[in-house]
């Protein structure tokens, strides 16, 4: 019988791509999402790609009674991938309590249910935001974490601690925390992708919305950083590559290949690209010219970060494979599909 995986936040951006990859690998997937940042049609589009509509329940994982009720009715879950969280950095500064409640309480509810209902394994969506601006690049998993720049970032750090301390105290639990760098792009079918609510905060959706005519121009936040062209540098990772890393992490836990009960992996490409390189890359990949303007730095932004991927490559046997331009093209194809552009 196929192992059963609970994917929280499975109708969201990274979750939906991961559901497809899990299904392709033969896993039986159950999605829980409260649709606070995604919509129900994603399930039909997952089915169009994989041929399988995942089982779905709509409730808030910060609601303990509903979470217990779910585990009572869904016996035999082998592992959880916990994507569900609020993720808008700016909103978290304005509404810190919303972020702490949603992101921390959901995590604690899941862990308590894991203990009560004997679900041994969990993979957690962490973020390179826990490193802040590192003193040394590239960033390894041993690079010290720094104080978070936002309540959102702090929820990732605290959730990592909740997870590692709970695992240290309970030998029947095992976890892998995956620190994503900057996910981008969409599924090659253009059936699923990133759907930000309102004005996008992240660079790639802002680029594609500008190309689609929804935004007048891209604001490049700073050209006076200590980088080759002065704009800030990030490690952008294709969302399907990222999704596949989750399947590898699940395989590792279920096959008992983990070296300790709490493991952490960086998920990036190992390459840094600047904001201007992203804009140029988009133009080269799509042939669409972009309007952009250099403005001042964005508060809270770091200058540059990219991953050392050695540990993930060697220990997980996983490597990001897809290139910058091909991924930017998938982001554009998705934007065109959403906006009805031919």
Q: Which residues form the catalytic set?
A: 152
Other beta carbons less than 10 A from residue 312's beta carbon: 25
306 contacts 312 by C-beta, under 8 angstroms: no
> If contact means CB under 5 to 8 A according to the sort of partner, which of ligand WQD, ligand NAD, none does residue 14 touch?
ligand NAD
> Six-digit token pair at 255?
């096959």
The DSSP element (H or E) to which 254 belongs, if any, is helix 239-254
**Footprint (CB under 6 A) of ligand WQD, residues 212-271:** 218-221, 232, 234
Structure tokens of 311? 């540990």
Q: Which does 35 bind (CB under 5 to 8 A by kind): ligand NAD, ligand WQD, none?
A: ligand NAD
How many residues bind ligand NAD, per CB under 6 A?
Answer: 28
Tokens 């695992």 appear where? 167
Integer Cα distance of 81 and 88 in angstroms? 20
- In this structure, are residues 297 and 171 in contact, taking their beta carbons and an 8 Å threshold? no
Handedness of CA 17, 186, 89, 324 (dihedral sign): positive
Q: What does 11 bind: ligand NAD, ligand WQD, none (CB cut-off 5 to 8 Å by kind)?
A: ligand NAD
Print the binding letters for residues 110-129 with ligand NAD: x by CB under 6 A, - otherwise: ---------------x-x--
Q: How far is the CB of 320 from ligand WQD (least distance, A)?
A: 16
Residue 118 CB, nearest approach to ligand WQD (Å): 30
d(C-alpha 112, C-alpha 133), whole Å: 33
Question: Smaller CB distance to ligand WQD: residue 64 or 298?
Answer: 298
Among 6, 11, 131, 233, binds ligand NAD (CB under 6 A): 11
Q: Which positions from 129 to 168 touch ligand NAD by CB under 6 A, shown as an x/- string?
A: ----------------------------------------
Applying the rule CB under 6 A, the residues between 125 and 144 that interact with ligand WQD are 127, 129
Query: By CB under 6 A, is residue 102 in contact with ligand NAD?
Result: yes
Q: Name residue 127's beta-bridge partners.
A: 180
CA–CA distance from 81 to each of 149, 161, 162, 282 (Å)?
25, 17, 16, 31
Cβ contact 258:30 at 8 Å: no
Compute the Cα dihedral for 170, 174, 180, 183 and give only its sign: negative
| Contact flag: residue 231 with ligand NAD (CB under 6 A) | no
State the residues that interact with ligand WQD by CB under 6 A: 87, 89, 127, 129, 153, 182, 201-203, 206, 218-221, 232, 234, 275, 298, 301
**Residues within the interface to ligand NAD (CB under 6 A):** 9, 11-15, 32-38, 60-62, 83-87, 102, 106, 125, 127, 180, 182-183
């Amino acid at each position: 019988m196929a192992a059963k995986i609970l994917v929280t936040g499975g109708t969201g951006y990274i979750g939906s791509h991961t559901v497809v990859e899990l299904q392709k690998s033969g896993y039986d997937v159950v999605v829980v999402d409260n649709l606070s940042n995604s919509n129900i049609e994603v399930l039909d589009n997952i089915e169009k790609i994989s041929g399988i509509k995942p089982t779905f329940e709509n409730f808030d994982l910060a609601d303990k009674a509903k979470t217990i009720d779910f585990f009572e009715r869904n016996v035999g879950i082998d592992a959880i991938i916990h994507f569900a969280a609020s993720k808008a950095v700016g909103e978290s500064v304005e509404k810190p309590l919303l972020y702490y409640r949603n992101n921390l309480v959901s995590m604690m509810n899941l862990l308590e249910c894991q203990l009560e209902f004997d679900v041994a394994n969990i993979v957690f969506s962490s973020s390179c935001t826990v490193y802040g601006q590192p003193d040394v690049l590239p960033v390894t998993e041993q690079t010290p974490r720094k104080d978070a720049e936002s309540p959102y970032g702090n929820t990732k750090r605290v959730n990592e601690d909740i997870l590692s301390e709970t695992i240290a105290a309970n030998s029947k639990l095992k976890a892998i925390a995956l620190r994503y760098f900057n996910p981008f792009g969409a599924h090659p079918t253009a059936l699923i992708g990133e759907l930000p609510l309102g004005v996008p905060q992240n660079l790639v959706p802002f680029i594609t919305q500008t190309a689609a005519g929804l935004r007048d121009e891209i604001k490049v936040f700073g050209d006076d950083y200590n980088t080759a062209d002065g704009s800030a540098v990030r490690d952008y990772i294709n969302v399907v590559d990222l999704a596949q890393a989750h399947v590898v992490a699940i395989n590792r836990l279920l096959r008992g290949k983990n070296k300790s009960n709490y493991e952490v992996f960086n998920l990036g490409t190992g390459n840094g690209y600047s904001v201007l390189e992203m804009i140029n890359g988009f133009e080269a990949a799509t042939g669409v010219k972009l309007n952009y303007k250099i403005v001042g730095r964005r508060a809270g932004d770091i200058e540059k970060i990219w991953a050392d991927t050695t540990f993930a490559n060697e220990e997980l046997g996983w490597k990001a494979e897809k290139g910058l331009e091909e991924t930017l093209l998938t982001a554009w194809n998705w934007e065109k599909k959403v906006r009805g552009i031919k």
